[in-house]
Chains A and B, each alone.
Chain A
Amino acid sequence: MIPVPLARLAADTRGRWLVGAFALTALTGVAPHLSVTGQRVEAVVVIDITGSMNTRDERLHGKPVSRLDKAKATLRGLAASLPCGSRLGLGLFAERRTFLLFEPIETCADFAALDGALAGLDWRMGWEGDSRIAAGLFRAIGLAADLHSDLVFVTDGHEAPPLPARGGPAFEGKPGAVRGLIVGAGGHSPSPIPRYDDRGREIGFYGADDVPHENRFGPPPPDAETREGYNPRNAPFGASAAPGQEHLSSVRETYLRGLAAETGLAYAPLDAPGGLVGALTAAATPRTRPVRLDLRPVLGGSALAALLVLFGLLPWHARLRETVSRLRHGA
């Protein structure tokens, strides 16, 4: 036997809406969360800190900045926008080696440390001037495999010295065993590379005579015979220095895409709209993390809707009906 007031409540439209709203609101306290699984990323970021990364052909907030500064800003953005539970490590690339600064750490809890470390990156940390990208990339892949994490390799693809005629080193690992991104930094038109003295002060730009434009290790290229002053024994590469554009730098996108294809990584430009999160999440190994889905907005929203019907729609409707009936009866 239902008590009379409750029965009346159930019989009344307004009563039902009110009970509904109350019940929905009360439910928010009972079942607030539902666990589902979400995506997280675990990657070691290896960043190229060689000389060509100082080229100022990137833009940040409308101002020209060096590729390294742009990369730092983008990576800080990446660290800030990855979902909590993601982990990023940091390493440097110069010469042909990668140097791990720290293993992946949590992007939310350890954010200040991660952000500070990214902000503190400097080309002056480099230990040698060479920039053998392919060799460095392969080592970085080995490092990431060792850490069981993915790889984000940020570089402009500018090999210095240039690759020999027979091409770069071959990748000996298993393509796709380590997943991740190669991020291409730099603009598409050749720009001068700043030059620094041994105390780290900028003293101008590299000129055409300051850098080798051709790698003369290994056998000469097939077209060497047509060069001026060619002699198979004394001058297999020709008699004059090869002209070239190696003192200018632009992002070697084709080369980097080739490396990405060879190693099973994905390629993304550094200035991809919306940052690197999308590209990295797509390329990274799917790792699940428990995410709590909050059901409260749904319940609360429905309760609010019920109250609005109760206080807004129903009275308005009733008043409308009354007016109509009054008009009809000529009152």
Chain B
Amino acid sequence: MTASLMALVGRFGVTAPAWLWLLPLALLPLAASAQTRIPVPSLALVPADGLSRLVDAVLTLAGMAAIGLLILALAGPHLLGESLVRTGEGAQISLLIDRSGSMNETFAGRQPLGLEESKAAASRRILEGFVGRRAHDLVAVSAFSTSPMAVLPMTDRHEAVRAAIRAIDRPGLEATNVARGLGLALAQFGPGAPDASRVLLLVSDGAAVIDRRIQPLLREEFAKIHPTLYWLFLRTAGAPGLGDRPAGEDTPQAAPERHLDLFFKSLGVPYRAFEAENARAVEEAIREIDRQERKPISYTERRPQRDLTGYAYGLAALAMGLLLAGKLAETGLATRVAAPRPAASRETRRAA
């Protein structure tokens, strides 16, 4: 109980603290009263009266409260927003998107004409639907072509992620340098939430040879972070698939896709490749990933700042209401002598 109260006090804040310098003004009612002054020849005329003292104290306090609360209200009191860590269903997803020039071609390997959709446009459309379908996913976006580009850090703001996904069908750059892209996408997971389900989703339409010198580094990173790896391979019609052995020598240079697949299989992390030759296959793959990756994830829920100004004004009005009641109950000594009321004594006492 006290702990939660302390937490509440700890979250209290004001927007314009300078106003609080005026708070000593709340002491004014100690020196003066809102009641009408009635001259009395001598205080000794008035008998000491407990009730009068009480009313006096209440009215003084009400005056102090009214001034103090108004000053507080002007300072803009609020409870600071807080972030609560909760557990939901979702995953940490690091999206790694190929932005090489070929992504702007269709699945048939040519420039899109009329209603045809480029590979980039198809992945944009489908990924846009995928992100945001699950409320508690954390998503990071990276892109790669010649060099890796950190687009967005891990975030739960799906609107921002969709803005980044909307950018992927803009004209891409030249080459496909998947190794450095993978390194960046792994770095996007960061140190937090080691229990969460981590997903690395690589969307590309081709592959490149991963430098032999970089391979052990990547292997090490994969072992450390241990993400589930999905490769959404947007296969251009007629291009060799992941399982096809090249006719000649089976080297990474001759069949980079096949050898990237082999490299992924050798990583020791859960891995699945989806070969999509059209938009529908992409959609099915995404649905499959959606189904697989549902584990508890801790996410932060933000509680916005709560404005307490209204309450301060309300309480100030209440205090002023008390003062008003005091005023309304006022009776003069001279005019109302004919109708003696117990209230008379308290007012006279106060009037002194």
Contacts and interface: CB of A to CB of B under 8 A. Distances in A.
Contact of A311 (B28, B173, B327, B328): B28
Given A25-B70, A25-B317, A296-B309, A105 B159 contact: yes
A125 B159 CA distance: 24
Task: Name the interface size band of chain B.
Answer: 35 or more
B116 interface: no
Given A89-B163, A112-B155, A6 B34 contact: no
A102 B160 contact: yes
A122 B150 contact: yes
Contact of A110 (B151, B160, B171): B160
A308 to B, nearest CB: 6
B152 A19 contact: no
A102 B157 CA distance: 13
Contacts of B170: 99-100, 143
Contacts of A314: 32
A9 B331 CA distance: 11
Nearest to B316: A25
Given A304-B71, A311-B67, A113 B152 contact: yes
A310 B34 contact: yes
Contacts of B164: 101-103
Given A124-B147, A300-B70, A18 B327 contact: yes
B159 A21 contact: no
A312 B25 contact: yes
Contact of B314 (A29, A106, A126): A29
Contacts of A103: 163-164, 166-167
A128 interface: yes
A120 B153 contact: yes
A32 to B, nearest CB: 7
A101 B143 CA distance: 8
B330 interface: yes
A311 B32 contact: yes
A213 interface: no
Interface string B186-226: 00000000000000000000000000000000000000000
Given A103-B167, A114-B160, A22 B330 contact: no
Contacts, number: 163
Contacts of A14: 34-36, 327
B143 A109 contact: no
Interface stretch (B261-269, B272-280, B318-326): B318-326
B159 A300 contact: no
A12 B332 CA distance: 12
A102 B163 contact: yes
A312 B155 contact: no
Contacts of B288: none
B266 to A, nearest CB: 25
Interface string A20-35: 0110011011001000
Given A101-B143, A127-B174, A315-B31, A32 B310 contact: yes
A307 B67 contact: yes
B152 A92 contact: no
Contacts of B32: 311-312, 314-316
A132 interface: no
Contacts of B159: 105-106, 109-110
Contacts of B328: 5-6, 9
Nearest to A26: B317
B148 A125 contact: yes
B67 A113 contact: no
B143 A301 contact: no
B160 A29 contact: no
Contact of A304 (B67, B317, B324): B67
Contacts of A117: 150-153
A114 to B, nearest CB: 7
A8 interface: yes
B255 interface: no
Given A14-B34, A112-B155, A105 B160 contact: yes
Nearest to B171: A97
A101 B310 contact: no
Contacts of A331: none
B287 interface: no
Contacts of B313: 25, 28-29, 296, 300
Nearest to B323: A18
A2 interface: no
Interface in A1-55: 5-6, 8-9, 12, 14-15, 18-19, 21-22, 25-26, 28-29, 32
Contacts of A126: 147
A97 B316 contact: no
A325 to B, nearest CB: 11
Interface in A201-216: none
A116 B149 contact: no
A297 interface: yes
A101 B140 CA distance: 12
Interface string B318-352: 00110110011110000000000000000000000
B102 interface: no
A193 to B, nearest CB: 19
B167 A102 contact: yes
Interface of B: 22, 25, 28-29, 31-37, 63, 66-67, 70-71, 73-74, 99, 141, 143, 145-153, 155, 157, 159-161, 163-164, 166-167, 170-171, 173-174, 309-310, 313-314, 316-317, 320-321, 323-324, 327-330
Given A18-B34, A97-B171, A304-B67, 15 more contacts: A8-B330, A18-B323, A25-B317, A28-B310, A92-B149, A99-B170, A101-B143, A101-B151, A102-B164, A105-B159, A127-B145, A127-B147, A296-B313, A303-B70, A311-B31
5 contacts: A5-B327, A29-B313, A100-B167, A101-B152, A304-B70
- Nearest 8 A/B pairs, CB to CB: A315-B32, A116-B153, A102-B164, A113-B160, A311-B28, A110-B160, A127-B146, A120-B150
